[in-house]
Amino acid sequence: MKLVFGFTVLLLIGFALGNEVFSEETKSAFAFAFDFDFISKQTSSSSSFNVMDYGAVGNGLVDDSQAFDEAWKAVCSANVGEETATLVVPQGKTFLLDALVFEGPCLPKTLHFQIGGSVIAPQGTSWGNGQVDAWIHFSSIENLILDGGGTINGQGSSWWQPCMKTSAFGFFFDCQRRPVALHFHNCSGLRLKGLTHLDSPMLHISINDCKDVVLSHLHIMAPGDSPNTDGIDISNSINVQIQDSTIGTGDDCVAINGGSSFINIIGVNCGPGHGISIGSLGDGAFDTVEGVHVKNCNFSNTQNGVRIKTFKVRVVRILKMVSYFRIILMKKEIVGWFGFRQNISFEQILFDNVKNPIIIDQFYEEKIRYRSYGIWEKAAGGIKVSDVTYSDVRGTSASEQAINLDCNNGVGCSNIVMRNIDITPSGGGGGPNIQGLCHNAHGTAFHVKPQVPCLS
């Protein structure tokens, strides 16, 4: 009789558990008391996933890629309801990772990637094998948060060395394809905060085809002579905010490329590097950029300050190498490319010993340095630049050309507004005699030093 009664009680308990009659606390108590493994598995869930629990070692020597991949699969598929699912990379450890892709869509509404320790790329260049576009790639994830105060180190010095060796013609013969350190594609609601990014093989952070992005309190660093190590590169993205960050690299601190709109950059310290650049644009497509606002940013010992750069033409060329020092141009086609950049503002900007503080370059031809050899030519066409405002800008210039508005004869630059600009020589009275230069730029100037002759 007792056996029958006990069996009946168990059936009733099982029925109640299965039909959500009891609270979670009561379920847990039953699971503990009766040691029912199946009950605990069905009724408990975790929202935190530590890479150490998936086999990561964290000594900086053993490849932890598989552990990270397995932890990602677990957190991405976790059924946590309204909770945030968190992947934990713990403090005090260094994790060696090969190229990884963290891909969505994921089940949690918000996914937190908490990097407390250090993540490092392999030494050398063999791991990329010329086929990897990104070291760490996040794709198609909504409401992704990356933070934790840790470090992402691309260990890129081995990648830079061949790129620093150029021929007499400026070609980078040994510069192989290099990966971006951290790449985000098709991610909406992205938040990247409080991390340190070091020594990427190429770009440190790439934002592509994303929307509603906030990047804040970042430290991005690489040597001033490291090639193409842009801090943050934005393309085809909408509503991106960069704020309260320090960036010093061998290229642009921030680069805003085609298809981007509503970009706000506030409170960024830039240097060394090539400044904050809009472009380059027009190198092979119809490009647009609009609604870019840069405010309260400081530039120290940079090559450029605030720059807008566009290609005027695309040149398709077939070159035949006859000898090491002779190049014959076999075919040359000049094509104009069109687009626009508009509604751009630079406000409350401070320069300290900046070589080119303010520049609009519609003849941007870093690749066209070969035109003196008869390889490149200019043609009409280009990207229209309009509605650009510079206000409350001051500081020192390391060169004579403190302001240079170099606009082409085709589309030119229109509605350029400058007010309250005060740029002086870096060396004080003993510095260069600075000047403002312009070509085919149209607009107005109020209280601008040095004067810009083509603005009224």
Kindly state the percentage of the chain with pLDDT values over 90. Answer: 64
Q: Quickly state the pLDDT bin for 327 (edges 50, 70, 90).
A: very low
Mean pLDDT of 50-76: 98
What is the rounded CA–CA span in Å between residue 451 and residue 317?
A: 40
Nearest residue to 223 via CA among 169, 278, 154: 154
Beta bridge partners of 206: 183, 233
Mean pLDDT (the chain) is 82
Beta bridge partners of 270: 247, 299
Is the pLDDT assigned to residue 385 strictly greater than 90?
Answer: no
pLDDT at residue number 306: 98
Q: Quickly state the pLDDT bin for 312 (edges 50, 70, 90).
A: low
The pTM assigned to this predicted structure is: 0.82
pLDDT at residue number 328: 30
Residue 448 · residue 394 · CB < 8 Å: no
Q: Quickly state the pLDDT bin for 10 (edges 50, 70, 90).
A: very low
Token readout for 154 is 């691309």
Radius of gyration, CA atoms only, the chain: 28
Phi, psi of 30 (to 5 degrees): -60, -45
Is the pLDDT assigned to residue 341 strictly greater than 90?
Answer: no
pLDDT at residue number 381: 52
Is the pLDDT assigned to residue 416 strictly greater than 90?
Answer: yes
pLDDT at residue number 32: 37
pLDDT at residue number 363: 80
pLDDT at residue number 127: 85
Q: Quickly state the pLDDT bin for 162 (edges 50, 70, 90).
A: confident
pLDDT at residue number 333: 33
Of the candidates 183, 185, 197, 274, the residue annotated as catalytic is 274
Mean pLDDT of 203-232: 97
For residue 377, the tally of other CB atoms under 10 A from its CB is 11
What is the rounded CA–CA span in Å between residue 6 and residue 406?
A: 90
pLDDT at residue number 438: 92
Q: Which position has the higher pLDDT, 437 or 172?
A: 437
Q: What is the pLDDT of residues 259-309, one digit of tens each?
A: 999 999 999 999 999 999 998 755 556 678 899 999 999 999 999 999 998
The residue type at 96: L
- The reply to whether 185 belongs to the active site is no
